[in-house]
Structure 1
Protein backbone atom coordinates (compact mmCIF):
# COMPACT_ATOMS: atom_id res chain seq x y z
CA UNK A 1 0.00 0.00 0.00
CA UNK A 2 1.46 3.40 -0.95
CA UNK A 3 2.28 5.85 1.81
CA UNK A 4 0.15 8.54 0.17
CA UNK A 5 -2.71 8.19 -2.25
CA UNK A 6 -2.09 9.98 -5.56
CA UNK A 7 -4.16 13.11 -6.06
CA UNK A 8 -5.16 13.57 -9.74
CA UNK A 9 -5.66 17.31 -9.17
CA UNK A 10 -1.95 17.59 -8.31
CA UNK A 11 -0.63 15.47 -11.18
CA UNK A 12 2.09 16.93 -13.36
CA UNK A 13 1.13 17.92 -16.88
CA UNK A 14 3.54 16.50 -19.47
CA UNK A 15 3.77 17.35 -23.15
CA UNK A 16 1.76 14.94 -25.27
CA UNK A 17 4.88 14.23 -27.34
CA UNK A 18 6.81 13.17 -24.22
CA UNK A 19 4.00 10.90 -23.06
CA UNK A 20 3.72 9.32 -26.51
CA UNK A 21 7.47 8.69 -26.67
CA UNK A 22 7.47 7.12 -23.19
CA UNK A 23 4.44 4.98 -23.98
CA UNK A 24 5.97 3.82 -27.27
CA UNK A 25 9.27 3.03 -25.55
CA UNK A 26 7.55 0.78 -23.03
CA UNK A 27 5.33 -0.94 -25.60
CA UNK A 28 8.43 -1.71 -27.70
CA UNK A 29 10.39 -2.98 -24.71
CA UNK A 30 10.58 -6.67 -23.78
CA UNK A 31 8.70 -5.94 -20.54
CA UNK A 32 5.08 -6.64 -19.65
CA UNK A 33 2.63 -4.20 -18.09
CA UNK A 34 2.86 -6.12 -14.79
CA UNK A 35 6.30 -4.53 -14.33
CA UNK A 36 4.88 -0.99 -14.32
CA UNK A 37 2.03 -2.12 -12.10
CA UNK A 38 4.40 -3.49 -9.48
CA UNK A 39 6.77 -0.53 -9.79
CA UNK A 40 3.94 1.73 -8.61
CA UNK A 41 4.25 0.35 -5.09
CA UNK A 42 7.72 -1.20 -4.82
CA UNK A 43 11.20 -1.03 -6.22
CA UNK A 44 12.36 -3.86 -8.45
CA UNK A 45 15.98 -4.90 -8.85
CA UNK A 46 17.65 -5.78 -12.12
CA UNK A 47 18.03 -9.39 -10.93
CA UNK A 48 14.25 -9.72 -10.77
CA UNK A 49 14.04 -8.91 -14.50
CA UNK A 50 16.72 -11.27 -15.81
CA UNK A 51 16.45 -14.75 -17.31
CA UNK A 52 14.00 -17.09 -15.58
CA UNK A 53 13.07 -14.70 -12.75
CA UNK A 54 11.74 -12.06 -15.17
CA UNK A 55 9.50 -14.51 -16.98
CA UNK A 56 8.38 -16.29 -13.81
CA UNK A 57 7.30 -13.00 -12.21
CA UNK A 58 5.53 -11.89 -15.40
CA UNK A 59 7.82 -8.91 -15.94
CA UNK A 60 9.41 -9.87 -19.26
CA UNK A 61 8.25 -11.49 -22.48
CA UNK A 62 11.48 -13.40 -23.06
CA UNK A 63 14.61 -14.36 -21.09
CA UNK A 64 16.96 -11.39 -20.77
CA UNK A 65 20.62 -11.29 -19.85
CA UNK A 66 21.48 -8.77 -17.14
CA UNK A 67 23.14 -6.41 -19.64
CA UNK A 68 20.08 -6.52 -21.93
CA UNK A 69 17.72 -5.80 -19.05
CA UNK A 70 19.97 -2.96 -17.85
CA UNK A 71 20.07 -1.38 -21.33
CA UNK A 72 16.28 -1.59 -21.67
CA UNK A 73 15.76 -0.07 -18.23
CA UNK A 74 18.24 2.73 -19.00
CA UNK A 75 16.21 3.62 -22.11
CA UNK A 76 13.04 3.74 -19.98
CA UNK A 77 14.90 6.07 -17.60
CA UNK A 78 15.97 8.25 -20.55
CA UNK A 79 12.37 8.68 -21.74
CA UNK A 80 11.18 9.52 -18.22
CA UNK A 81 9.28 6.39 -17.15
CA UNK A 82 11.66 5.16 -14.46
CA UNK A 83 14.29 6.35 -12.04
CA UNK A 84 17.04 4.58 -10.15
CA UNK A 85 16.38 3.98 -6.51
CA UNK A 86 18.76 5.62 -4.08
CA UNK A 87 19.60 4.46 -0.58
CA UNK A 88 21.90 5.89 2.08
CA UNK A 89 24.95 4.52 0.26
CA UNK A 90 24.04 5.93 -3.16
CA UNK A 91 22.49 4.35 -6.25
CA UNK A 92 21.22 0.79 -6.07
CA UNK A 93 20.41 -1.77 -8.76
CA UNK A 94 16.68 -1.14 -8.23
CA UNK A 95 14.22 1.00 -10.15
CA UNK A 96 11.08 2.99 -9.30
CA UNK A 97 8.28 4.51 -11.35
CA UNK A 98 8.26 8.27 -11.99
CA UNK A 99 5.11 10.42 -12.02
CA UNK A 100 5.19 10.23 -15.83
CA UNK A 101 5.48 6.45 -15.54
CA UNK A 102 2.33 6.39 -13.43
CA UNK A 103 0.44 8.33 -16.09
CA UNK A 104 1.69 6.03 -18.84
CA UNK A 105 0.68 2.98 -16.78
CA UNK A 106 -2.84 4.39 -16.41
CA UNK A 107 -3.06 4.93 -20.18
CA UNK A 108 -1.71 1.50 -21.09
CA UNK A 109 -3.75 -0.43 -18.53
CA UNK A 110 -6.95 0.66 -20.27
CA UNK A 111 -5.93 -0.81 -23.63
CA UNK A 112 -6.80 -4.18 -25.09
CA UNK A 113 -3.91 -6.47 -26.12
CA UNK A 114 -4.46 -5.57 -29.78
CA UNK A 115 -4.26 -1.84 -28.99
CA UNK A 116 -1.25 -2.35 -26.71
CA UNK A 117 0.80 -4.26 -29.30
CA UNK A 118 3.36 -1.99 -31.02
CA UNK A 119 3.30 -1.68 -34.79
CA UNK A 120 6.31 -2.04 -37.06
CA UNK A 121 6.31 1.76 -37.32
CA UNK A 122 6.43 2.03 -33.51
CA UNK A 123 9.44 -0.31 -33.39
CA UNK A 124 11.25 1.59 -36.16
CA UNK A 125 10.57 5.00 -34.62
CA UNK A 126 11.61 3.80 -31.16
CA UNK A 127 14.84 2.32 -32.55
CA UNK A 128 15.55 5.56 -34.42
CA UNK A 129 14.99 7.62 -31.24
CA UNK A 130 17.34 5.37 -29.28
CA UNK A 131 19.99 5.54 -31.96
CA UNK A 132 19.75 9.31 -32.51
CA UNK A 133 19.69 10.42 -28.88
CA UNK A 134 22.54 12.67 -27.86
CA UNK A 135 25.23 11.17 -25.66
CA UNK A 136 25.23 12.34 -22.05
CA UNK A 137 28.47 14.28 -22.55
CA UNK A 138 27.09 16.29 -25.48
CA UNK A 139 25.81 19.76 -24.53
CA UNK A 140 25.41 21.27 -27.99
Structure 2
Protein backbone atom coordinates (compact mmCIF):
# COMPACT_ATOMS: atom_id res chain seq x y z
CA UNK A 1 0.00 0.00 0.00
CA UNK A 2 1.43 3.34 -1.03
CA UNK A 3 0.92 5.91 1.73
CA UNK A 4 1.34 9.52 0.68
CA UNK A 5 1.17 12.91 2.33
CA UNK A 6 -1.85 15.13 1.68
CA UNK A 7 -1.25 18.77 0.80
CA UNK A 8 -4.13 21.01 1.90
CA UNK A 9 -3.04 23.72 -0.55
CA UNK A 10 -3.80 26.59 1.82
CA UNK A 11 -1.67 29.03 3.79
CA UNK A 12 -2.07 29.57 7.54
CA UNK A 13 -0.26 32.06 9.74
CA UNK A 14 1.54 30.98 12.91
CA UNK A 15 -1.32 32.54 14.89
CA UNK A 16 -3.91 30.55 12.96
CA UNK A 17 -1.88 27.38 13.46
CA UNK A 18 -1.77 28.03 17.18
CA UNK A 19 -5.54 28.52 17.10
CA UNK A 20 -5.87 25.13 15.39
CA UNK A 21 -3.56 23.55 17.97
CA UNK A 22 -5.45 25.01 20.91
CA UNK A 23 -8.76 23.85 19.42
CA UNK A 24 -7.28 20.36 18.97
CA UNK A 25 -6.09 20.30 22.59
CA UNK A 26 -9.41 21.59 23.93
CA UNK A 27 -11.49 19.06 22.01
CA UNK A 28 -9.13 16.24 22.99
CA UNK A 29 -10.28 16.70 26.56
CA UNK A 30 -13.81 16.01 25.32
CA UNK A 31 -12.76 12.84 23.51
CA UNK A 32 -12.22 14.24 20.01
CA UNK A 33 -9.59 12.56 17.91
CA UNK A 34 -6.90 15.24 18.07
CA UNK A 35 -3.84 15.82 20.23
CA UNK A 36 -1.56 18.88 20.39
CA UNK A 37 1.36 19.53 22.67
CA UNK A 38 2.68 23.08 23.11
CA UNK A 39 6.18 21.61 23.48
CA UNK A 40 5.88 20.31 19.89
CA UNK A 41 3.68 23.00 18.33
CA UNK A 42 4.52 22.18 14.70
CA UNK A 43 2.25 19.13 14.63
CA UNK A 44 -1.27 18.10 15.56
CA UNK A 45 -1.85 14.38 15.90
CA UNK A 46 -5.01 12.83 14.45
CA UNK A 47 -6.13 9.74 16.33
CA UNK A 48 -7.95 6.59 15.31
CA UNK A 49 -10.51 5.91 18.05
CA UNK A 50 -13.02 3.13 18.47
CA UNK A 51 -15.92 5.41 17.50
CA UNK A 52 -13.99 7.46 14.91
CA UNK A 53 -11.86 5.42 12.55
CA UNK A 54 -11.87 5.23 8.74
CA UNK A 55 -13.94 2.46 7.17
CA UNK A 56 -11.91 -0.75 6.78
CA UNK A 57 -9.45 0.38 9.51
CA UNK A 58 -11.48 -0.75 12.54
CA UNK A 59 -8.87 -3.38 13.44
CA UNK A 60 -6.35 -0.61 14.18
CA UNK A 61 -7.96 0.15 17.55
CA UNK A 62 -9.37 -1.94 20.36
CA UNK A 63 -12.60 -1.46 22.25
CA UNK A 64 -12.15 0.37 25.54
CA UNK A 65 -12.85 -2.78 27.55
CA UNK A 66 -10.38 -4.93 25.58
CA UNK A 67 -6.61 -5.09 26.07
CA UNK A 68 -4.81 -2.90 23.54
CA UNK A 69 -4.82 0.70 22.42
CA UNK A 70 -8.22 2.35 22.09
CA UNK A 71 -6.60 5.35 20.35
CA UNK A 72 -3.70 5.35 17.90
CA UNK A 73 -2.10 8.02 15.77
CA UNK A 74 -3.33 7.74 12.19
CA UNK A 75 -1.92 10.99 10.82
CA UNK A 76 -0.21 14.21 11.80
CA UNK A 77 -1.05 17.69 10.58
CA UNK A 78 2.26 19.47 10.02
CA UNK A 79 2.59 23.30 10.03
CA UNK A 80 5.36 23.32 7.37
CA UNK A 81 6.11 27.07 7.56
CA UNK A 82 2.46 27.97 6.97
CA UNK A 83 1.73 25.39 4.26
CA UNK A 84 0.07 22.63 6.28
CA UNK A 85 -0.13 19.08 5.10
CA UNK A 86 -1.08 15.72 6.56
CA UNK A 87 1.55 13.06 7.08
CA UNK A 88 -0.46 9.85 7.06
CA UNK A 89 0.91 7.25 9.50
CA UNK A 90 -1.47 4.34 9.95
CA UNK A 91 -0.54 1.94 12.77
CA UNK A 92 -0.07 -0.81 10.18
CA UNK A 93 -0.36 -1.29 6.44
CA UNK A 94 -1.94 -4.53 5.29
CA UNK A 95 -0.26 -6.26 2.38
CA UNK A 96 -0.83 -9.11 -0.01
CA UNK A 97 -1.66 -11.97 0.37
CA UNK A 98 -3.73 -10.86 3.39
CA UNK A 99 -5.68 -8.41 1.24
CA UNK A 100 -5.74 -7.85 -2.49
CA UNK A 101 -4.23 -4.89 -4.28
CA UNK A 102 -7.75 -3.56 -4.93
CA UNK A 103 -8.59 -3.79 -1.22
CA UNK A 104 -5.35 -1.98 -0.37
CA UNK A 105 -6.28 0.84 -2.74
CA UNK A 106 -9.78 1.07 -1.24
CA UNK A 107 -8.28 1.26 2.26
CA UNK A 108 -5.84 3.98 1.18
CA UNK A 109 -8.64 6.06 -0.33
CA UNK A 110 -10.84 5.66 2.77
CA UNK A 111 -7.93 6.73 4.96
CA UNK A 112 -7.23 9.80 2.83
CA UNK A 113 -10.93 10.80 2.85
CA UNK A 114 -11.05 10.41 6.62
CA UNK A 115 -7.91 12.52 7.14
CA UNK A 116 -9.28 15.28 4.89
CA UNK A 117 -12.56 15.19 6.82
CA UNK A 118 -10.63 15.50 10.10
CA UNK A 119 -8.84 18.59 8.70
CA UNK A 120 -12.20 20.13 7.77
CA UNK A 121 -13.53 19.25 11.24
CA UNK A 122 -10.57 20.90 12.98
CA UNK A 123 -10.87 24.03 10.82
CA UNK A 124 -14.57 24.21 11.67
CA UNK A 125 -14.22 23.74 15.43
CA UNK A 126 -11.30 26.19 15.61
CA UNK A 127 -13.46 28.90 14.06
CA UNK A 128 -11.11 29.50 11.15
CA UNK A 129 -12.79 30.39 7.90
CA UNK A 130 -11.80 28.93 4.58
CA UNK A 131 -13.45 29.17 1.22
CA UNK A 132 -14.84 25.81 0.08
CA UNK A 133 -12.97 24.73 -2.99
CA UNK A 134 -9.66 26.01 -1.67
CA UNK A 135 -9.01 22.72 0.09
CA UNK A 136 -8.71 19.98 -2.51
CA UNK A 137 -11.11 17.09 -2.02
CA UNK A 138 -8.91 14.43 -3.62
TM bracket, shorter-chain basis: under 0.3
Normalising by structure 2, report the TM-score. 0.28
- Between Structure 1 and Structure 2, the one with more helix by share is 1
Normalising by structure 1, report the TM-score. 0.27
- Between Structure 1 and Structure 2, the one with more strand by share is 2
